[in-house]
Amino acid sequence: MSTQPPGARISGSGRALGARCVSNDELAAELGSSDDWIVARTGIRTRYFIEPGQSNTSLALEASRAALADAQRNASELDAIVFATLSPDMVFPGNGVLLQEALGVAPIPALDVRNQCSGFLYALSVARAWIVSGTYRRVLVVGSEVHSTGLDMSPRGRAVSILFGDGAGAVVVEAVDSHVQEGGALEPVRLGADGSGARLLFCDRPGAAHHPSITCDDIEAGRHFAHMEGRQVFRRAVELLSQEVAALIARHSLDPKRAVLVAHQSNRRINELVATRTNIPEDRVLHTIEQWGNTTAGSIPMALDLARRERRIAPGDPVIMAAFGSGLTWGTTLMWG
C-alpha cells in the first residue's frame, strides 16, 4: 500500500434545471427591459425557472443522482455531502441534510457552504481537503440554486432579475492513488475573500441584525431582494478573476492555449475579458449563460458537466475553474482532463 497521501479526482458529474424555459421577451415587459439590452449587456437569452413540485433540494437530488450514475457509484458509497447554496429551501436547517434524507444516506455528515457564486469552489476545497487528509474517501459536492422565487419582478429590480436562473450541478470527488495520473485529478483550490465588499452584492432581510428580522415595511420597500452595485462588481470580477487565473497558469506552468476555462457564469462579457487577458482562446471558454443565466453556486458544476458530456475536455487538458461573487469571495482550481 502507498504511504503517500491520496489525491482527489472528480469521477462523475450531473446537472438539473428548472422545468420552465423563460425568454428575455417574457421578462422584458414586466421589468421595463428588452431582449436587446439583456443580450448586449449580459449574453443571456434564456434561463430556467422551477415549476410547482420542484425545489432547490429536488434539483440537487436530480443532479446528484446523475453524478452518481456517471461515477458508477451508489449513494450508499458516499462518506459525506458538501452543499453550496445562497437560496436554501428553509432558513434552517440547511439543504445538505434535506439532500441527505432524499438520497437515503443517513447518518453521513452534510455540510452547508454559504459563499454564493464561489460556493462550489469553497465546497470543493473542503471535499478535497477531507480526501487528501484521509478523513473521507468519497464526497458528493453540490451547488444548487432556486432564484426565481426571490426575484423582484418590477422595474426596480431589473438590473438583478434579468441575470438569474434555477439550476443545480453535482460532482462525486473520490480518493485516488496520487502516483496514478487519472482523468479528473484536482489540484488544491486557492480561495480568497474581501469582506469590505460585502455590501456590493447582498440581501439582508430577513436578517438577525434587525429586530424583528423582517417587517411588512421591509417587504414593501423590497429589502428582501438582492441589492447589487453592478458596475463595481463587474469591474472587481474582471480584475480579480484575471489576476487569479493568470496566477494559476503561472503556478502550474500551463500553456494557456491548451487550457479550458470553466468559470462562474455571471456575465458573458466578464468571462470573455478574463480569457483575453489570460490568453485563453475564446473557443476554449465554456459559456452556458446564454441558455441558463446565472445559477450562482450551480454554474461551475453545471458547465463542467456539459463540458464532460459533450467531450469538450480531452485527456490531459488543464481545466481551469474560477469563480467570483458576493462576499466578496473568489476561488480558482485546476482539474486535469
User: Where along the sequence are the contacts to ligand ACO (CB under 6 A)?
Assistant: 31, 33, 37, 41-42, 116-117, 158-159, 162, 201, 230-231, 233-234, 237, 266-267, 270, 294, 296, 325-326
| Distance of closest approach, residue 61 Cβ to ligand ACO, in angstroms | 23
Q: Which is nearer to ligand ACO, 119 or 337 (CB)?
A: 119
Q: Which is nearer to ligand ACO, 142 or 172 (CB)?
A: 142
- The residue annotated as part of the active site, out of 24, 56, 264, 271, is 264
| Distance of closest approach, residue 30 Cβ to ligand ACO, in angstroms | 11
What are the φ/ψ torsions at residue 184 (nearest 5 degrees)? 95, 0
| Distance of closest approach, residue 307 Cβ to ligand ACO, in angstroms | 20
Query: CA-based angle 311:316:319, to the nearest 5?
Result: 70
| Distance of closest approach, residue 294 Cβ to ligand ACO, in angstroms | 6
Q: Is 264 assigned a catalytic role?
A: yes
Q: Which is nearer to ligand ACO, 162 or 304 (CB)?
A: 162
278's grid cell? 489570460
Place of cell 458530456: 309
CA 61/CA 170 separation, integer angstroms: 9
Q: Is 267 assigned a catalytic role?
A: no
Q: Is 294 assigned a catalytic role?
A: yes
Q: Which is nearer to ligand ACO, 97 or 270 (CB)?
A: 270
Omega within 30 of 0 (cis) for the link into 256: no
| Distance of closest approach, residue 290 Cβ to ligand ACO, in angstroms | 14
Q: 22-30: long-range contacts at Cβ-Cβ below 8 A with a sequence spacing of 24 or more?
A: 22/46, 22/47, 22/48, 22/49, 22/148, 22/165, 24/162, 27/153, 27/161, 27/162, 30/153, 30/154
Q: Which is nearer to ligand ACO, 188 or 230 (CB)?
A: 230
CA 219/CA 145 separation, integer angstroms: 22
Count CA atoms closer than 13 A to 329's CA, side-chain side.
18
Nearest CA among 182, 186, 199, 205 for reference residue 300 = 186
- The residue annotated as part of the active site, out of 24, 56, 115, 117, is 117
By annotation, the residues acting in catalysis are 117, 264, 294
